[in-house]
Amino acid sequence: MTGNALLSLKNVNVGYKTLTGTVYAANDINLDLYESDALGIVGESGSGKSTLAMGVLDLLADNAKVTGEAIFNGKNLIGLSEKEMRAIRWREISVVFQKSMNSFSPVYKISEQIYDIYKVHKPSATRAESDAAITRLLGVVNLTDRVLNMYQHQLSGGMLQRICIALSLIFDPKIVVFDEATTALDVVTQGQVIGEIKRLQRDFNVSSILITHDISVVAETCNRVAVMYAGYLMETGPVRSVIKEPLHPYTQGLISSFPTLETGKTMIRGIPGTLPNLKNKVQGCVFAPRCPRVKDICRNERPLQRSATPEHMVACHFFGRE
C-alpha cells in the first residue's frame, strides 16, 4: 500500500497487570491504516484484537499498560491526557462495539439519548441540531427518523446496532472502529448490517478498522487484513492475496476453518490445540506449539515480519527460505 498512513502503530505493546503476573496481550505491533482503507483485524477469541484497538484509544481497564506509538495527525495518541483524548475519540476516531446496542437506557427516548451524547462533544448544540444530524445518517443504515421517538425496548437488536453505527458517524470521523459490531446479530440481520457498513465505507470519507473472529466478514468488507494470534501479528496484506495465498501456517489454518472461503471443501479442518497462556513471555514463534511445520528455530527465535510483496508481510521463519 502506498500513500501516507492515517494511523500508524509502531511497536505497540499492551500488558495487563494481574495478581498472578502480566498478561502480554499485544506485542510489538506495527500496523498502518491508510486513507479510505478498510482494515480487518482477525483472530481467535482472546488473541488481543480489542486490546490493541482499545489500547490505542485509551479505553482499557486501569490495569492495562500501553507503550509504543500510535501516530494520528502527527500526534502520538499513546500517553495523551484524558482531555486531549476526548477531543479525538468520537470526533476523529469513533467506535462501534458488539455491545453498543445494550448501552441505551430503557427510560429515555432514543433522540434524548443521542442528544445527551451529542452535547458532550458539542455543548452548545440544540436538540433540533442533534436530531437533524442523526436523521441525515439514519438512511445510511436503512432506518427512518421514526426510531428517534421510540424507546430501546421497541427496537430490535439490529435496529439498535444500526443506530449506534449512524451515531458513530455523527461528527464525520476520519476513522470508525467496528469491534465485533455484527457478531451479536442473527445471520440475516448481520448480512444486512454488513451491507450497510460497506455502503458507508464507500460513501463517506472514512477509513475503517473492522475487528472480528470471522474472516468471511473481513473478506466481504475489507481491502486489507491483519491476522493476530496470541497477541502477535502473524500476517498483514491485501485481503485477496491473504485469502487466496495465505503465507503463515496460522492463517492457512484459520482460512481452512471457514469452508465458505474455500469452495469444494466439506471438511472443516480447524487448528488443533488452544491459545497459549499469555502470561508466559515467548522466546520463539508464539504459534510454534500448534504449528504443523514447527522446527527448532521456531521455538528459539522470534520470526520477524518479512515482505512477500511491498503490501504483504508475514512473520514466519519459513517464508522465503524454502
Binding residues for ligand ATP, rule: CB under 6 A, are 16, 18, 23, 25, 43, 45-51, 61, 63, 180, 213, 278
- The interface partner of residue 18, options being Mg ion, ligand ATP, none and the CB cut-off 5 to 8 Å by kind, is ligand ATP
- The interface partner of residue 67, options being Mg ion, ligand ATP, none and the CB cut-off 5 to 8 Å by kind, is none
Nearest approach in angstroms of CB 126 to ligand ATP is 38
- The interface partner of residue 72, options being ligand ATP, Mg ion, none and the CB cut-off 5 to 8 Å by kind, is none
Nearest approach in angstroms of CB 251 to ligand ATP is 15
Q: Can you give the three-state secondary structure of the chain, one letter per residue? A: CCCCEEEEEEEEEEEEEECCEEEEEEEEEEEEEECCCEEEEECCCCCCHHHHHHHHCCCCCCCEEEEEEEEECCEECCCCCHHHHHHHECCCEEEEECCHHHHCCCCCCHHHHHHHHHHHHCCCCCHHHHHHHHHHHHHHHCCCHHHHHCCHHHCCHHHHHHHHHHHHCCCCCCEEEEECCCCCCCHHHHHHHHHHHHHHHHHCCCEEEEEECCHHHHHHHCCEEEEEECCEEEEEEEHHHHHHCCCCHHHHHHHHCCHHHCCCCCCCCCCCCCCCCCCCCCCCCCCHHHCCCCCHHHHHCCCCCEECCCCCEECCCCCCCC
- The interface partner of residue 48, options being Mg ion, ligand ATP, none and the CB cut-off 5 to 8 Å by kind, is ligand ATP
Long-range CB pairs of 142-148, under 8 A, 24+ apart, other chains included: 142/192, 142/196, 147/110, 148/109, 148/110, 148/111, 148/114
Nearest approach in angstroms of CB 206 to ligand ATP is 22
Nearest approach in angstroms of CB 238 to Mg ion is 24
- The interface partner of residue 56, options being ligand ATP, Mg ion, none and the CB cut-off 5 to 8 Å by kind, is none
Nearest approach in angstroms of CB 141 to ligand ATP is 23
- The interface partner of residue 61, options being Mg ion, ligand ATP, none and the CB cut-off 5 to 8 Å by kind, is ligand ATP
Nearest approach in angstroms of CB 41 to Mg ion is 9
- Please say which residue, 50 or 182, places its beta carbon nearer to Mg ion: 50
- Please say which residue, 50 or 94, places its beta carbon nearer to Mg ion: 50
- Please say which residue, 48 or 158, places its beta carbon nearer to ligand ATP: 48
- Please say which residue, 24 or 319, places its beta carbon nearer to ligand ATP: 24
- Lookup result for grid cell 472502529: 177
Nearest approach in angstroms of CB 102 to ligand ATP is 15
- Please say which residue, 77 or 110, places its beta carbon nearer to ligand ATP: 77
Whether the Cβ atoms of residue 181 and residue 98 lie closer than 8 Å to each other? yes
- Please say which residue, 61 or 107, places its beta carbon nearer to ligand ATP: 61
- Please say which residue, 18 or 67, places its beta carbon nearer to ligand ATP: 18
- Please say which residue, 143 or 194, places its beta carbon nearer to ligand ATP: 194
Residues that bind Mg ion (CB under 5 A): 50
- The interface partner of residue 175, options being ligand ATP, Mg ion, none and the CB cut-off 5 to 8 Å by kind, is none
Whole-number Cα distances in Å, 105 to 100, 121, 160, 224: 11, 19, 11, 36
- The interface partner of residue 122, options being Mg ion, ligand ATP, none and the CB cut-off 5 to 8 Å by kind, is none
